[in-house]
Amino acid sequence: MKKFLKWLFISLFIITFLALAGVSLYISSIYINALNIPLNEEILTNSSLTLDIFDSENKPIKEQNEVNHAYTNIESLKQHTLDAFISIEDKNFYTHKGINVKRMAKAGLNNIKSRSLKEGASTITQQLIKNTQLSSEKTFERKIKEIALAQKLEKKYDKNKILELYLNIIYFGNNCYGIESASNYYFSKKAEELDIAESAILAGMIKSPAKYSPIKNQENCANRRNVVLKEMEKDGKINIETYNMLKNKNIELNLKKDKINKLNSYSQASIDEAESILGIPARYIALSGYKIYTYQNTYKQKILEDCVADMNLDCDNSAIVIDNNKNAISAFVGNSSYKILESKRQPGSCIKPVLVYGPALNEDIIYPCTQLLDEKITISNYTPKNVGNVYRGYISAREALSKSINIPAVKVLSYVGIEKAKQTAQKMGITFDEKDDSYTIALGGMTYGVNISQLAGAYTTFANNGYYKPPQFISFITDKNNKLVYINKSKSEKVLKEDCAYLLTDMLKTCAKTGTAKKLASLNCEIASKTGTVGKSSSKDNLDAWNISYTKAQTVGVWLGNLDNTPIKYAGGNQPTEIVKKYFEEIKDDSKFDRPESIVEKNIDGLELEENHRVMLANTFTPERFTQTELFSAFNLPNDISKNFTDVEKVVLSNKVENGCAIIEFNAKSYQTYEIIIDEKVYKSISGKNGKQSVSLPLTNSKQKIIVENFYTLNPENRASQEINFIKKEKKSQKDKWYI
């Protein structure tokens, strides 16, 4: 047994040794090969790069497509600015030779524990290599290459030059590459003028420019700034008094306005999409000679820009045009101090077709003509309200959607179920936070919301017969040798049934004719539309105004608001709808929605709908004036046929005698005729009346027979008849007694 254990331990030792030797050999080979990779000095030192971007006709887009054209020398920067970056990013920058072995070992142990590559422990030198020489993928092989090239870089340049290159290349969000661009954009000053707090803000941002944005996430930004300041205090770069003074300071920005339009241009949106597709930063895309070919239609782009500009808006705004056939973004306009496509806003009532009525139609829960009771309700501790606290009683789903009434939407969502509705909306590109689990989402009350591309993209599902694919700016990308490196081959996914998509479109056409988007009624095209307005809970101010409209050919979305949540004076049915109207007045769109063969017209009993709020098919005896023609899916038709105008129910009578007269009372219906007959003659006929009726008849005989007949006015052959006998019994010294 001892001999066996001895050989077992020897075998395990040999296997372990060989495994470690193999790993070491593998790492060494990667390291040695990486040392032979030449440094791309152009991308390190070039301060002005231009990207080649083309429209749908392969013509250059005439916009400024520059990347990182602002450069600063390290000698001009204040020491506290340099200290801020070194303290938070690489405390041993001036003593190591490209890598920090101790930090790497600690990060390696943490990665083993978490079974991930979340921690990199990269030095400033390594970050410079990662952002200029390598892809951003997190792999073991790339990390070895990063280490080798970092050490190679340390031999090529001195520390100050490496720090200078790093500060001029690192990304600060909002298209700001380099500290000079960031300082100009966020504070409208040169980098050499940055104070301690501003330097700490910028140093803190680079870990995650979106998460620590001083525009969008000021609380996160302030907390991160204070982490930087604390590290500077620990390193002896600032004293405790300075730290205590600055940690409570408000973030004060002075955004440079002349950069706003470029920040939200079609070109910039395409560059951002290219970064996501290729997995490399814009500088590397430019230096590598990649060419970006987009779907931009220059004619539509110009029209959209003019339509937005003509409104003279005093708020952030954006508009988008999507070619429904390709799910391609033909035009995009944005004006804001922050990237609009990276921001999410509450969609308001524009979410109702996507989250509520679309899923309900798809699950055969409602018809467009289904009656919904608009009333005050509380559901799961949520008490929704209509605009102006107006409640209309029973209305059709079509009217509820077209006039954007809130209570019916919440009710319909409850019929579908929150999770089922969210699953359907997610297939149309809408994302939800885990906290989005209450009925507030029926009215657009989401934790984060949507951007204009997501919301308009979801509506393309309705125009495309229930199929969805994400809208994109980029058609294809080539390298410097014109070799294709990417082509958009995204496939459509079926989300809604074809007939459901058509019925929803038909309901939204009503919105464009007589609903909240009725400003579009004068357009000479077949258009469906939905508006949305998001109010501020504490006041009557609005925060967001939307209109999403579509024809068979294209979808147009407009958003107005302020990303800092400053109130606006606009509403969805007004300015956003006006912009859509102006656009379609210029763009001649004669496309028509395809009516599926499974969509059928059926006559329903309007009387049954009005009185009992049930959708029932009309029978052969239903008069034309009481029939209502509605659209249905052939796979979801009403099962019941109304019995109105075939069977006549006896009217409920209330009878009494007063002062020798018979008093007959009943509730009349306007479509029925009521005849009171005495001695085979019609004493009184009542027709076209609604509500309680009272008829007084003289009792002339001791035994009087009265007949009450009722019938549908338009079908007098079929009657219901009731006989009432009044009998007088005389008693001495008492008043006459009548029996009925």
pLDDT in tens, 31-63: 565 555 666 666 677 666 778 899 999 999 877
Residue 189 scores a pLDDT above 70: yes
pLDDT at 476: 97
Domain layout of the chain by residue ranges:
1-35, 37-183+195-259, 318-586, 604-646, 654-739
CATH architecture of 37-183+195-259: Orthogonal Bundle (1.10)
**Contact (CB, 8 A) for 349 and 531:** yes
Beta strands of 498-551 (E only): which ranges?
528-535, 542-550
Beta-bridge partner residues of 468:
493
pLDDT at 560: 97
Q: How far from the centroid of its chain's Cα atoms is residue 229's Cα?
A: 38
Amino acid symbol at 238? I
pLDDT at 660: 82
pLDDT at 284: 79
What percentage of the chain carries pLDDT values higher than 70? Answer: 87
pLDDT at 354: 98
Mean pLDDT for the stretch of residues 720-724? 91
pLDDT in tens, 473-490: 999 999 989 999 999 999
Q: Categorize the per-residue pLDDT at 103 as very low, low, confident or very high, splitting at 50, 70 and 90.
A: low
Name which residue leads in pLDDT, 672 or 736. Answer: 672
3-class secondary structure, 96? coil
**Contact (CB, 8 A) for 557 and 546:** yes
Record the tokens describing residue 687, joined without a space. Answer: 């027709």
pLDDT at 280: 83
Closest CA to 454 of 329, 583, 360: 329
Mean pLDDT for the stretch of residues 422-447? 96
Record the tokens describing residue 324, joined without a space. Answer: 């429904």
Record the tokens describing residue 734, joined without a space. Answer: 């008492």
Name the burial class of residue 272, with classes exposed (0-12), middle (13-18) and buried (19+) by CB atoms within 10 angstroms of its CB. middle
Beta-bridge partner residues of 326:
none
Q: How far from the centroid of its chain's Cα atoms is residue 691's Cα?
A: 48
**Contact (CB, 8 A) for 563 and 340:** yes
Q: At what angle do helices 124-132 and 159-167 cross, to 10 degrees?
A: 50
What gap in Å lies between CA 727 and CA 740, rounded to an integer? Answer: 6
Q: Categorize the per-residue pLDDT at 339 as very low, low, confident or very high, splitting at 50, 70 and 90.
A: confident
Record the tokens describing residue 266, joined without a space. Answer: 């079609």
H or E element at residue 331: strand 328-335
Per 3-state DSSP, what percentage of the chain is helix, strand, and coil (rounded to 5)? 40, 20, 40
Alpha helices, H only, 351-483: 352, 358-362, 397-402, 406-416, 418-426, 452-463
pLDDT at 226: 95
Q: What is the mean pLDDT of the chain?
A: 88
Supply the Cα-derived Rg of the chain in whole angstroms.
37
pLDDT in tens, 232-252: 999 999 999 999 999 999 999
Name which residue leads in pLDDT, 557 or 732. Answer: 557
pLDDT in tens, 646-705: 888 888 888 888 888 889 999 998 889 999 998 888 999 999 898 999 999 888 888 888
Superfamily of the domain at 318-586: DD-peptidase/beta-lactamase superfamily (3.40.710.10)
What gap in Å lies between CA 590 and CA 617, rounded to an integer? Answer: 35
pLDDT at 225: 95
Q: How many CA atoms lie within 13 A of 368 on its CB side?
A: 27
Residue 640 scores a pLDDT above 60: yes
pLDDT at 435: 94
CATH topology of domain 654-739: Immunoglobulin-like (2.60.40)
**Contact (CB, 8 A) for 448 and 378:** no
Mean pLDDT for the stretch of residues 344-366? 97
What gap in Å lies between CA 454 and CA 730, rounded to an integer? Answer: 86
Q: Indicate the pTM of the whole model.
A: 0.79
Mean pLDDT for the stretch of residues 77-92? 93
